[in-house]
């Protein structure tokens, strides 16, 4: 038997590494197991998020957006940029550097906080035992009073489009293109599909998005989703709803995709195809036979609202448990679990977890949509304000989109906030904080916002709930 720990965390993604650091800060002897091998052949912390997810995709989104701005928008501001081109190889190298710096930074944080990093594949083999198989195949068993499973998730693949080495790829492969394909297909109009489609569309690809569902972004408020679809279409993304992919065939350097829609059987040819139909929990092989940790029918580890599994001293967090697969959700669960293990009271408000799509403009939301409220039988009031009426948005050349506030009609308590616009991902924090403190729209309306800012749209939307918006004509009568 190897060393004994107070806490062993399996997985060093945004849930796992945060849980490990927090536990160590609270005085617990902590180890974190990670199997991810980076491009340099060494263990890389940070999970999907830092290695092939949130961070590298945002690096490409930011670079490609700046390219579009320089090519098409600078002239409106009086900036003469000349002939602008994109060096894709250099863009990719910058992305890789950012990833390396951040993943290496976690190793430094582990050292600074006293977390023991263990390289290898972790498996829960008992209620207080974790077996780790190192990269050379040697297995070592560690003992821990508490175990936190933060194994994450992996992309879902579908039988009609089996992945190939370079033509049919998942989201990871789409981060490694060395040039913009002329014709790019994307299966799935979710967060990942829209973000990756946007990157390569900006760099010159003709992008077609095939979405099996009839509704666009059904998890987003209907008003915001409709406007987002219109804006992305304007940018050149051909989004086909109700398009169910039935098959594919690689012909030389092309991919022929068959799909069915309201018009019948269709066929389209691409130079590259990205499969982005969602993610599934990575739990296979993580829990040993006979341990007693229960999984649901979809492979998620079953937990309560404080992330306890069916085994008392075993916890699970992040993408491998219920709820949205979001890095920040995983991180907050990691902090909560570490606090609980250390004997502190801790809980998490699952009604106030924000989501962001980093297209341009960004789409962000927290809480209920109008559809959700209607389904729950809640009468609501709403207020919205367009960025077209915002002075800062005009100055930024970013007048597309709007901010929307949804409240309980009886109590005025904020039930949700939805934004499509520049910096929506930053502004949505106002909705999160407001909901966390049980604020009303009136609370936001009475707050003093700096001028000129994009956030003033949230202020005006809150005012608009009762027909008191200042910088637009109100639909409701002012009281």
Distance, CA of 274 to CA of 293 (rounded, Å): 35
- Tell me whether residue 476 is in a domain: no
The answer on 328 and 368 residing in a single domain is no
pLDDT higher than 70, residue 479: no
The answer on 356 and 333 residing in a single domain is no
Q: What is the pLDDT of residue 168?
A: 98
CATH number at residue 413: 3.30.390.30
The answer on 289 and 144 residing in a single domain is yes
In this predicted model, what pLDDT tens digit does every residue of 318-342 receive, in sequence order?
999 999 999 999 999 999 999 999 9
pLDDT higher than 80, residue 175: yes
- Tell me whether residue 302 is in a domain: yes
**Domain of residue 240, residue span:** 168-277
Count of structural domains, the chain: 3
65 is catalytic: no
Mean pLDDT across the chain: 96
| Annotated catalytic residue, options 344, 423, 451, 468 | 451
Strands, DSSP E only, in 197-345? 206-210, 238-240, 244-251, 254-261, 264-270, 272-275, 279-281, 314-316
Q: What is the pLDDT of residue 417?
A: 98
Assign 25 a pLDDT band (cuts: 50, 70, 90). very high
CATH number at residue 180: 3.50.50.60
- Tell me whether residue 406 is in a domain: yes
Last residue of a domain, one of 333, 348, 363: 348
Q: Give the pLDDT mean for 120-133.
A: 96
The answer on 11 and 133 residing in a single domain is yes
Show the DSSP H helices in 323-381 as ranges. Answer: 327-341, 370-375
pLDDT higher than 70, residue 1: no
Q: Give the pLDDT mean for 175-195.
A: 97
In this predicted model, what pLDDT tens digit does every residue of 56-115 receive, in sequence order?
999 999 999 999 999 999 999 999 988 999 999 999 999 999 999 999 999 999 999 999
Give me 87's structure tokens: 């060096």
Q: What is the pLDDT of residue 177?
A: 96
* Inter-CA distances, 5 with 9, 400, 427, Å: 10, 53, 41
Q: What is the pLDDT of residue 113?
A: 98
- Tell me whether residue 474 is in a domain: no
The answer on 292 and 145 residing in a single domain is yes
The answer on 141 and 180 residing in a single domain is no
- Tell me whether residue 9 is in a domain: yes
Place of tokens 């974190």: 32
Last residue of a domain, one of 218, 245, 277: 277
The answer on 150 and 290 residing in a single domain is yes
- Tell me whether residue 473 is in a domain: no
Q: What is the pLDDT of residue 475?
A: 78
429-436 own/partner pairs: CB under 8 Å, 24+ apart? 429/354, 430/455, 430/458, 431/354, 431/366, 431/367, 431/405, 431/458, 432/352, 432/353, 432/354, 432/366, 435/349, 435/351, 435/352, 435/366, 435/367, 436/349, 436/352
The answer on 445 and 377 residing in a single domain is yes
- Tell me whether residue 213 is in a domain: yes
- Tell me whether residue 469 is in a domain: no
The answer on 325 and 244 residing in a single domain is no
In this predicted model, what pLDDT tens digit does every residue of 408-456 receive, in sequence order?
999 999 999 999 999 999 999 999 999 999 999 999 999 999 999 999 9
Q: What is the pLDDT of residue 34?
A: 98
Distance, CA of 216 to CA of 229 (rounded, Å): 7
pLDDT higher than 80, residue 478: no
The answer on 188 and 263 residing in a single domain is yes
Q: What is the pLDDT of residue 477?
A: 55
Which region among 73-82, 248-257, 296-305, 447-456 has the lowest average model confidence (pLDDT)? Answer: 73-82
Contact 404, 384 (CB under 8 A): yes
Last residue of a domain, one of 229, 257, 277: 277
Q: Give the pLDDT mean for 138-145.
A: 97
The answer on 296 and 195 residing in a single domain is no
Q: What is the pLDDT of residue 173?
A: 96
The answer on 445 and 317 residing in a single domain is no
Q: What is the pLDDT of residue 2?
A: 72
């Amino acid at each position: 038997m190897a060393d004994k720990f107070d806490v062993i965390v399996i997985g060093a993604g945004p849930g796992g590494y945060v849980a490990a650091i927090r536990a160590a800060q609270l005085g617990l002897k902590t180890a974190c197991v990670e199997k991810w091998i980076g491009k340099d052949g060494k263990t890389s912390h940070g999970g999907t998020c830092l290695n092939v997810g949130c961070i590298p995709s945002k690096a490409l989104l930011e670079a490609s957006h700046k390219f579009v701005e320089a090519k098409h928008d600078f002239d409106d501001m009086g900036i003469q940029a000349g002939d602008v081109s994109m060096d894709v190889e250099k863009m990719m190298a910058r992305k890789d550097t950012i990833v390396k710096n951040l993943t290496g930074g976690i190793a430094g944080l582990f050292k600074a906080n006293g977390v023991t990093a263990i390289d290898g594949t972790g498996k829960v083999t008992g209620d207080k035992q974790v077996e780790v198989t190192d990269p050379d195949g040697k297995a070592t068993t560690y003992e821990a009073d508490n175990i936190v499973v933060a194994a994450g998730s992996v992309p879902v693949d579908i039988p009609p489009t089996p992945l190939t080495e370079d033509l049919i790829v998942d989201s990871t492969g789409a981060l490694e293109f060395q040039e913009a394909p002329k014709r790019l297909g994307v299966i799935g109009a979710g967060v990942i599909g829209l973000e990756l489609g946007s990157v390569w569309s900006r760099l010159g690809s003709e992008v077609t998005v095939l979405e099996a569902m009839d509704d666009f972004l059904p998890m987003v408020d209907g008003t915001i989703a409709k406007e987002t679809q219109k804006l992305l279409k304007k940018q050149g993304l051909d989004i086909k709803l109700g398009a169910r992919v039935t098959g594919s065939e690689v012909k030389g350097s092309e991919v022929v995709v068959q799909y069915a829609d309201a018009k019948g059987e269709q066929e389209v040819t691409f130079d590259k195809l990205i499969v982005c139909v969602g993610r599934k929990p990575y739990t296979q092989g993580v829990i040993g036979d006979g341990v007693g940790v229960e999984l649901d029918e979809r492979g998620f580890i079953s937990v309560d609202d404080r992330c306890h599994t069916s085994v008392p001293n075993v916890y699970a967090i992040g993408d491998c448990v219920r709820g949205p697969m979001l890095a920040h959700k995983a991180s907050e669960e990691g902090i909560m679990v570490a606090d609980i293990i250390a004997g502190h009271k801790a809980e998490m408000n699952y009604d106030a977890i924000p989501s962001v799509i980093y297209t341009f403009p960004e789409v962000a939301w927290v809480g209920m949509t109008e559809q959700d409220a209607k389904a729950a039988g809640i009468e609501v009031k709403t207020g919205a304000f367009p960025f077209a009426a915002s002075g800062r948005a005009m100055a930024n050349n970013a007048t597309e989109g709007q901010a929307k506030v949804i409240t309980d009609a009886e109590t005025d308590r904020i039930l949700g906030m939805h934004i499509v616009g520049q910096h929506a991902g930053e502004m949505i924090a106002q909705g999160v904080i407001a909901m966390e403190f049980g604020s009303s729209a009136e609370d936001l309306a009475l707050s003093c916002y700096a001028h000129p800012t994009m956030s003033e749209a949230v202020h005006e939307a809150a005012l608009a709930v009762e027909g008191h918006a200042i910088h637009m004509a109100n639909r409701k009568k002012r009281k």
